[in-house]
Chain A
């Protein structure tokens, strides 16, 4: 068992596809919340093998894409403060903020390092005691406990020059905000597998209960997604809406208790700005009082200047599921992965990038 190849088997895929075709009678619209699922769906051409009864929609589950310009601008302003080293995951570098991007300020002298892990950022802080190392904390519940662990590690190792800019986002609250707006009508939700590995299945229950939407937690291999769609179809055809786990090898109903404990120890919920969605209550995490000396926003005087949005970019509408990249007049012309205008084209998990890379954009 290697946990990957087995879940890419074409034999299993054929079985699931034919069963989905047999069972699906009712017209239904499913949203994949997570950008990781968007990539699997496009890379393996899953939309094309599903019956006409099923419509697939991409959701807001890309942390880079949903980061609002006000927050992005803070990171870019921080990078320009002398003796600050910015550490971040790669996808953030090219995202255009209101005035510039991290990559651009890096080219003009700011010290920005792409890291694979917060462990690298901690080591960097230890090796550069006269500098301040700021980690740009973006990500969902999958990443937040890791940032929490890095703070506890910094305490343990007495590293005093490590800071985080917390721009974490929480998934269930934003789904609630999208459903409350009533803009999109959904019948099924493909729930994010690795967010659920941390939070478990219970935090999704309100979606099935209050909105009558079927929910299935999925893994990221093509067989996982097909199995998830099969389970959603079964719920729809039997008139049920509940939360089920398709990704049982990776997700326990209770989540990862240790990760949740660390997250609660270090962070508390606060409101956040989401691109295209606006402010959502309790959808972000800020450092608790005891850990505020790690907060870059409190430690430095940040002046991000006024916020501007890229003209003509409809990332916000795409993230809410009300438009697709094909509705954007810039798609594939002025905006490409090489010269991206909005974050949904920059991020490897953004909808615009998936449409562009996997061809769907050029058919219709």
Chain B
């Protein structure tokens, strides 16, 4: 029910946007994320962007997890 999926904003018109979700273009609402820009990834829940995804944080998380994986590999 609280499912939200990443979507890439392609075009913004007022409080709505065209966004690409898994290869499909959909109209979404930006009422909850008025600061979203073209090129941002947002989390879309029932047609509304509920947050802007933070690419830097995602990279940092993946870097950390890769370190864990490498360490585990060495130890085994």
Contact = CB atoms under 8 A, between A and B. Distances in A.
Interface of A: 1-4, 6, 11-12, 14-16, 18-19, 34-36, 61-64, 89, 91, 116-120, 138-140, 142-143, 145-146, 149, 152-153, 192-195, 197-198, 220, 223, 227, 230, 246, 248-252, 256, 258-259, 262, 347, 349
A117 B48 contact: yes
Contacts of A11: 69
Given A194-B50, A197-B50, A248-B61, A140 B69 contact: no
Closest 6 CB pairs of A and B: A15-B69, A117-B47, A249-B58, A3-B6, A142-B2, A149-B31
Contacts of A139: 1-2
B3 A3 contact: no
User: Residue among B2, B55, B59, B75 with the most chain A CB within 10 A?
Assistant: B2
A142 B73 contact: no
Contacts of B55: 1, 249
B70 interface: yes
A248 B57 contact: yes
A146 B58 CA distance: 25
Nearest to A64: B1
A319 B41 CA distance: 34
Contacts of B46: 89, 116-118, 143, 146
A352 B72 CA distance: 35
Contacts of A119: 27, 29, 47
User: Residue among B29, B46, B55, B66 with the most chain A CB within 10 A?
Assistant: B46
Interface in B24-76: 27, 29, 31-34, 41, 43, 45-48, 50-51, 53-55, 57-62, 65-66, 68-73, 75-76
A321 to B, nearest CB: 18
A197 B4 contact: yes
Interface residues of B, number: 39
A246 to B, nearest CB: 8
Contacts of A153: 31
B72 A19 contact: yes
A4 B21 CA distance: 11
Contacts of A230: 68
B22 to A, nearest CB: 8
A194 B53 CA distance: 12
A142 B2 CA distance: 6
A251 B51 CA distance: 8
Nearest to A4: B6
Given A36-B2, A117-B46, A197-B43, A149 B32 contact: yes
A146 B54 contact: no
Contact of B2 (A4, A120, A194): A194
A168 to B, nearest CB: 11
A149 B30 CA distance: 10
A6 B51 contact: no
B59 A194 contact: no
Contacts of B47: 116-120, 146
Given A19-B72, A194-B50, A259-B32, A249 B61 contact: yes
16 contacts: A3-B41, A12-B62, A12-B68, A15-B65, A91-B1, A139-B1, A142-B4, A146-B46, A149-B31, A153-B31, A197-B50, A198-B51, A246-B61, A248-B58, A251-B51, A252-B51
